[in-house]
Amino acid sequence: MSVEEHRQIAKQKMKGKCGVYRICDGGDNKICQGHSYGSPIGFGGVGSGAAFKNNVSALTDINLKMRVIGEDYTPDTSYDFFGHKITMPIMGASITGVNSFGGDSVITEPAFCKATVLGAKQAGTIGWRGDTFTYDWDFMPCYDAICKAAEGWGVKISKPRDQDTLKKVFKMYEEGVALAVGIDVDGCGSTIMAAHNKPVFRKSIDDIKELVKSTKLPFIVKGIMSAEDAKAAVEAGVSAIVVSNHGGRVLDHTVGTADALFDVVDAVKGKTTIIADGGVRTGYDVLKMLAIGADSVLFGRDIVRAAVGGGAEGVKAFFELQQKTLVKAMKMTGAAKLEEISRDIIYC
């Protein structure tokens, strides 16, 4: 089945939560943004939805420079993720919690986790898994997906819970031979964790240093939206940062992640691995993020729709389409390999 066929299935299953629109921009006329004030966010953005919309518009405002005269070549999209070679600089973001997009009637949490991780693996890339209020020591579908079903082929990102809990979680994934672990520091503003009395905390540089030292795995901090936080993460010794505003779901009126990425890259490029997400919908958007200076890119909401519509097969097909699109975009802008992508190929 094609990506479009999987999307049509998802559209039927996710009625009332996500319209699976051709253009997913968080517009005020979209189903995900149609919740009354004070209701749960669902699949949209927090508050007015401005941060969600800004993610998309920031990338839309960037245009590509076409350069097509020169020797012919087939672009190489292979990427090294902490010693693990994958087929593309594109991975699946750590979106977790099926309650946001329909619950068990749409897809169960264990099935969703396995679809995202295994589908990514089948496409030659990596699925990341997150954390939500339903997770505890007796219910760990992310662990089962990464460390059992995928034999460690995945990344675990946890909410910024208390230090002792996080260190125990990271130890489990280390023993389960996961590829990396980390926290989404912007999770300190999680409305769903707060609503279910699951404490989350702001993390200091010393807190992050302690977590980095607690595991042998590469450590990632997700939720960086400023040069100041990027520098603090580097000071804490992290292996990578993710420029992200949680899909526009934790703080209204942030700039789009592509806009924030410029400052972050200028501040810490070469000092840590820089990954980006937010508003990324196609391989063309991937190329724009890479041109700004990201080393790799994460897809979020589209991976959900792919998993709902086609399980692991749907996720695999989606990743393969984005790789194909990235290959074309690189060929049309004069980049034969990832290292040749620069700001010279964008107008903004």
What is residue 301's predicted lDDT score, i.e. its pLDDT? 97
| pTM of this prediction exceeds 0.85 | yes
d(CA 220, CA 275): 10
**Full DSSP string of 57-126:** HHHHT-EEPP---S-----B--EEETTEEESSSEEE-----GGGGTGGGT--HHHHHHHHHHHHHHTTS-
d(CA 143, CA 172): 8
Containing 275, the helix (H) or strand (E) segment is strand 273-276
Amino acid at 127: G
What is residue 36's predicted lDDT score, i.e. its pLDDT? 56
Consecutive 10-residue averages of pLDDT for the chain (348 residues): 97 95 93 74 91 98 98 98 98 95 94 98 98 92 97 98 97 98 96 88 98 98 98 98 96 97 98 98 98 98 98 98 98 98 97
Neighbours of 36 (CB within 10 A): 5
What is residue 40's predicted lDDT score, i.e. its pLDDT? 75
* 191: its two tokens: 């409305």
Count Cβ neighbours within 10 Å for each residue of 280-295 and write b for 16 or more, e otherwise: bbbbbbbbbbbbbbbb
DSSP state of 212: H
d(CA 249, CA 270): 29
* 343: its two tokens: 């700001």
What is residue 230's predicted lDDT score, i.e. its pLDDT? 98
* 71: its two tokens: 């020797």
| Positive or negative: CA dihedral 228, 231, 237, 242 | positive
Helices (DSSP H) in the chain: which residue ranges?
3-13, 50-60, 109-122, 141-143, 163-175, 191-195, 205-213, 227-235, 257-268, 283-292, 301-333
Residue range 79-347, CATH number:
3.20.20.70
Chain centroid offset of residue 66 CA: 28
What is residue 138's predicted lDDT score, i.e. its pLDDT? 87
